[in-house]
Amino acid sequence: MITFSELGLDERLVQATNALGYVNPTPIQEQAIPVLLSGTKDLVGLAQTGTGKTAAFGLPLLHLVDESQKHPQALVVCPTRELCMQIVSEIELFKKFIPGMHVVAVYGGTSISMQIKDLRRGVQIVVATPGRLIDLIERKAIHLEKIKYVVLDEADEMLNMGFKEDIEFILQNTPEREATWLFSATMPPEIKKVSKKYMTAPFEITVGKVNTGNKNIDHQYYVTQSHQRYEALKRLIDFNPGIYGLIFTRTKIDAQTIAEKLTREGYDIDALHGDLTQQQRDKVMHAFRDKTLQLLIATDVAARGIDVKDITHVINYELPDDTEVYTHRSGRTGRAGSTGICMSIVHSKEIFRLRSIEKLIQSPFNKMELPSGKDVCRKQFYFFMEKLLQADISHGDYETYLPMLQEKFADITKEEVLTRVAAMEFDRFLKYYENAGDLNIREQKRDRKAFGDSPEFGNSRGRERDSRTTQFSDGDTVRLFVNLGTKDGFYKASFLQFILDMSDLKKEVLGRIDMKEMNSWVEIDKKAAKQMISAIDGKNFKGRRIRMNDANSR
């Protein structure tokens, strides 16, 4: 694997990448950096956020720009204020060892006079949103005459947001422009037109397939009634206690009302939408980045350009109207080599839309079941136990209080203390989920046609799930095998309770239960067998995968 020192970059930049802990260049960096350093004028990079494209253009810019000349030489234009700030903060890190180099961010929604002052300090690199840049040009606060390098980042987003004329204006007003580098996740005809008009034989780089979703992302969908979306969302959040998630809605009113509702119910969430002032937006983003906010709910427009590390889940409260937007949404997780989950809550009438998204992302969707109330409680309970065991007690002066604690709890058993602690933590869940219903719309043949049969995705996980149809033997009952037994701490009654809880079935469906150390056999009404298998098979028990199937088919 190639290293940064082999790309031909200034030693000070290599030093900066080392300081950042970057070991190897990402594919787009490996391809773009040597080409841009070799004097290639124009470049089109088809890459999404998360591929490392900021460094792919940022490092060459810092290499090529002359820090002894105190006027703007490079201009990066991007769609949003957030992206603008992000690019600047990355460039700041890259230029750490080049003291004379200055970079400034100019964007709307904040005091222009401060930005004018910043520009007067003598900067070499300007990162701007189109509207504010034009404002500054018109006020003659920025001069583009000596700009040699123009980078258009997230060009497709800029065109989507109606900045086409602004971009053309900027390109027309950079007379000394030697090089134009355009980055875009997609390649709609308008981008092709811009590149044809303003670029000369651009060098093209495609990272992955155009429009291709990130392969580190598990794309899941959950089918429920439209009016149960909110409940379904809550269940998904509750079933993933360690979630650090970004939720997308189509409208700002949804984002706002859902955030308010969930906040009232004790969730750690805030909303990002177009009605917020810049100050409010900054506050929300700051809290989310700091992880003091566990969940952020946003509209597509408000979330443009947000790059937050380590997002574990993206949840689509509804599918986006525009299929391509799905790629932008899901791309917020599974970044820089990590894995992520993108969950979509869909109504059965929307399932056909998943098909076109699958084609676009070149990846199958996995149909998942919305967890039952009991599943959620169990999951929360395990999470809590883990938290309790991991609690750091090394710092506090707990020894001082120990005698007091011992005295206070002298007449209470350990079990009781634990139960009380658990009750404090989970009362909310237990009460809420006590009588919670099933939110799934049960599988229909139609869904299967739309997905499982899709030959291009071969032996996908979604397919495995669908193909798990058991051939039951004749008679009213069927015997199921399960790889759990007395060694797992079960006795007959607790095992019976466990399988009934997991599958949400009634005791009446069960017949004889035979338990051995390692395995058990369960006799069950033929009609209920499928439900029990799909609820239990593949689930985890104490870190082990449970296997349950028709004993006769083995």
427/425 Cα distance (integer angstroms): 6
Choice between 49 and 372, CB closer to ligand AMP: 49
Tokens of residue 512, six digits: 């004889």
Choice between 246 and 509, CB closer to ligand AMP: 246
String of contacts with ligand AMP for each residue 336-355, x by CB under 6 A: x-------------------
Choice between 29 and 534, CB closer to ligand AMP: 29
String of contacts with ligand AMP for each residue 59-98, x by CB under 6 A: ----------------------------------------
Choice between 63 and 235, CB closer to ligand AMP: 63
Q: Is there a contact between 104 and 127 (Cβ–Cβ < 8 Å)?
A: yes
Beta strands at 520-525 and 510-515: parallel, antiparallel or unpaired:
antiparallel
What's the min distance (Å) between Cβ of 337 and ligand AMP? 7
Distance, C-alpha 17 to centroid of its chain: 25
Alpha helices in 199-339 (DSSP H): 229-239, 252-264, 278-289, 300-303, 323-330
Of the listed pieces 51-59, 185-193, 254-262, 414-422, which binds ligand AMP according to CB under 6 A? 51-59
Choice between 25 and 364, CB closer to ligand AMP: 25
What single letter denotes the amino acid at residue 207? Answer: V
Judge residue 351's burial from the number of C-beta atoms within 10 Å of its C-beta, 0-12 exposed, 13-18 middle, 19 or more buried.
buried
Q: Which residue in the set 9, 25, 136, 368 belongs to the binding site for ligand AMP (CB under 6 A)?
A: 25
Q: Is residue 334 near ligand AMP by the rule CB under 6 A?
A: no
Q: What are phi and psi of 230, to 5 degrees?
A: -60, -45
Tokens of residue 236, six digits: 């998904």
Of the listed pieces 18-26, 37-45, 520-528, 530-538, which binds ligand AMP according to CB under 6 A? 18-26
Q: Strand, coil or helix: what is 435? A: coil
Q: Is residue 53 near ligand AMP by the rule CB under 6 A?
A: yes
Between the alpha carbon of residue 284 and those of residues 245, 273, 279, 294, 302, the distances in Å are 14, 10, 9, 11, 12
Q: Which residue in the set 16, 32, 43, 54 belongs to the binding site for ligand AMP (CB under 6 A)?
A: 54
Chain residues 126-155 in contact with ligand AMP, contact rule CB under 6 A: none
What's the min distance (Å) between Cβ of 494 and ligand AMP? 47
Q: Which residue in the set 31, 49, 124, 366 belongs to the binding site for ligand AMP (CB under 6 A)?
A: 49
Q: Which residue in the set 26, 180, 249, 299 belongs to the binding site for ligand AMP (CB under 6 A)?
A: 26
Chain residues 298-327 in contact with ligand AMP, contact rule CB under 6 A: 307, 309
- Applying CB under 6 A, what is the total number of residues that bind ligand AMP? 15
- 104-113 core/surface letters (b: 16 or more CB in 10 A; e: else): bbbbbeeeee
What's the min distance (Å) between Cβ of 51 and ligand AMP? 5
Q: Which residues contact 13 (CB under 8 A, 6 or more apart)?
A: 4, 59, 62, 63, 94, 97, 98
Q: Is residue 371 near ligand AMP by the rule CB under 6 A?
A: no
Choice between 49 and 520, CB closer to ligand AMP: 49
Q: Which residue in the set 55, 77, 155, 376 belongs to the binding site for ligand AMP (CB under 6 A)?
A: 55
Q: Which residue in the set 16, 33, 43, 51 belongs to the binding site for ligand AMP (CB under 6 A)?
A: 51
Choice between 300 and 523, CB closer to ligand AMP: 300
Q: Which residue in the set 14, 43, 52, 219 belongs to the binding site for ligand AMP (CB under 6 A)?
A: 52
Q: Is residue 254 near ligand AMP by the rule CB under 6 A?
A: no
What's the min distance (Å) between Cβ of 29 and ligand AMP? 6
Q: Which residues contact 124 (CB under 8 A, 6 or more apart)?
A: 65, 66, 67, 69, 70, 71, 72, 73, 74, 101, 102, 103
What's the min distance (Å) between Cβ of 127 and ligand AMP? 13
Choice between 59 and 377, CB closer to ligand AMP: 59
Q: Is residue 249 near ligand AMP by the rule CB under 6 A?
A: no
What's the min distance (Å) between Cβ of 23 and ligand AMP? 6
What's the min distance (Å) between Cβ of 240 and ligand AMP? 23
Choice between 273 and 332, CB closer to ligand AMP: 332
What single letter denotes the amino acid at residue 42? Answer: D
Choice between 53 and 328, CB closer to ligand AMP: 53
Choice between 36 and 377, CB closer to ligand AMP: 36
Nearest alpha carbon to residue 151 among 76, 256, 213, 259: 76
Q: Is there a contact between 440 and 222 (Cβ–Cβ < 8 Å)?
A: yes
Choice between 217 and 223, CB closer to ligand AMP: 217
Of the listed pieces 53-61, 314-322, 523-531, 539-547, which binds ligand AMP according to CB under 6 A? 53-61
Q: Is there a contact between 452 and 463 (Cβ–Cβ < 8 Å)?
A: yes
DSSP string, 25-85: --HHHHHHHHHHHTT---EEEE--TTSSHHHHHHHHHHHHS-TTS-S--EEEE-S-HHHHH
Nearest alpha carbon to residue 203 among 34, 9, 35: 35
What contacts 24+ positions apart, CB below 8 Å, involve 504-513? 504/372, 504/374, 504/438, 504/531, 504/535, 505/531, 505/532, 511/477
Of the listed pieces 46-54, 220-228, 405-413, 513-521, which binds ligand AMP according to CB under 6 A? 46-54
Of the listed pieces 50-58, 386-394, 464-472, 514-522, which binds ligand AMP according to CB under 6 A? 50-58
Beta strands at 477-482 and 548-550: parallel, antiparallel or unpaired:
antiparallel
Q: How many CA atoms lie within 13 A of 196 on its CB side?
A: 7
Residues that bind ligand AMP (CB under 6 A): 22, 25-26, 29, 49-55, 307, 309, 335-336
